[in-house]
Amino acid sequence: MLTGACALVPAAPSAQPQQSKQNRAPRLASILTVLSALVTACPSAHAALAFSSGYSGTTAYTHSNSDDIYSYDWGSDGKIYLGAINSSYKSGGIYSYDGSSTSTIQAASNTYAGASVVAIGSSIYFNDADFNSKIYRYNIGSSVTTSVSATNYSLGTDGNNLITTGSSDYVTTHLNYYAGGALAGAIDLGGIEGSSGPAAFDMAGNLFYAPGYGDPSIYRWSAIEVAAAVLGSGSPPLTAGGHQWLNYSSSFTSASGVGSLLLDPNGNVLVTLTDFTNPSALVKFSADGSGSFETILTSTDRLGELRLNGGNLYLSETNKIISIIPEPSSTLVALCGFGLFLRRRR
C-alpha cells in the first residue's frame, strides 16, 4: 500500500507554497513559456501519496527512467501505450508495454511533450505541445505513425470519435470533433473562455469539460446538444452559458484547475485537482451534480492521467501507473469474520 503525507485539504484556506517537484507535463499551453518560473524542483525523486480510508494502490507499470508518465491508454492489442516527459518539459518518448517488455513508438526529442495518449479502435492518438503543435496517429496493425498540425491541448474520446481542446489565442478554448478519430475534417463545436483542460464523455454520450487553470468549474452538455453541434458542423455551438455542472471552489479553495477527468460507469465524475504551487487531490464528485464528493487520495506532487480499464481505476504518478483498489469497509470485514466464526462453531 502506498502512503504518504496528506496534502490538499477540502474547504480549507489555501496552503502555503511548498517546495514540490511539480508534474513535468506542460498541462497549460497558454502559460507554457513561464512554467519554469513557477516550478521549484524538489530533491526527492518521488511524490508522497496518501490514500483515504477505504483505498489502497499497487503499481501496474514503472517506466525505465525517472521521466514522468503524462498520459497512457490501453490499445486494442492489450498493450499499454504511454507518453513520457523529462524535467525540461521535453518529450521523453512514446512507448508500448506488453506486460513484460517496453518498445519505442516515438523516440525522445527536444519537442515539448503533449498532454494525452488516447486509444480508439486500432489507433493510438498522442500530441505534442510545441508552438506548431501536432496530433499523431499510430496504427497498431501497420506500426505507421502519421500526423496533422492542429490546435490542441487534451485529447478525449466517446469510444469511437476523437475530441480535442485547445486555444490558438490563449483566450478561448475550442472543442474540436474528429468523426471516427480520423485526422481530417475537424468540426469546431464551440468555445469557452479560459485555459484549456480535459474533456470526457459519460456512457450516455453527455460531454463534460473542465478548464485546466483559473476556473473552478466543470461544464456539461447533453448528448442531444453535442449531436446537434456535430450534425450542424458546429452550429449551434457549445457554449459555457447555462452549462456549469459544478463549481468546486467552496470545497477545494486551493485548487486552480483540473488535470485529468473521467466518468465512471455510474456517472460519477473523477478529477485530479491541482495548481502550480499546492499539492493535488484525486476526487470523485457525485453523479447528481450536488457537489458531494469523496477524496480518494492526495499527493505532494501534481497527479497525472486517470484511466478506466477492465473495471479498474488507474492513475499515473511520476514514472508509475498505479491501480487504485477500493478496500472493503471495516464493517464488512468484521461481518465476514463473524460469519466465518459462526461456521467454525457449528
pLDDT digits (tens, 9 = 90+) for 126-152: 999 988 889 999 999 999 999 998 888
The whole-angstrom separation of Cα 31 and Cα 37 is 10
- Asked if residue 233 is part of any domain, the answer here is yes
Q: Which three cell numbers stand for residue 197?
A: 483542460
* Greater model confidence, 4 or 189: 189
48 pLDDT tier (thresholds 50, 70, 90): confident
pLDDT at position 289: 94
Quote the pLDDT of residue 341.
Answer: 42
Q: Is residue 86 scored above 80 in pLDDT?
A: yes
In a domain, 23, yes or no: no
Check residue 340 and give its pLDDT: 42
Compute the radius of gyration of the chain from its Cα atoms: 20
**8 lies in some domain:** no
Structurally, how many domains does the chain consist of?
1
Inside any domain, residue 217: yes
State yes or no: pLDDT of 36 exceeds 70: no
Residue 13 within any structural domain of the chain: no
In-domain check, residue 6: no
Residue 265 has pLDDT above 80, yes or no: yes
How much is the pLDDT for 329? 53
Q: Which domain holds residue 180?
A: 29-345
CATH code assigned at 146:
2.120.10.30
Q: Are 39 and 28 in contact (CB under 8 A)?
A: no
pTM of whole model > 0.85? no
Q: Specify if 11 maps to a domain.
A: no
Per-residue pLDDT, averaged over 214-225, amounts to 96
Would residue 103 count as lying in a domain? Answer: yes
Ranking 5-9, 79-83, 113-117, 191-195 by mean pLDDT, the lowest is 5-9
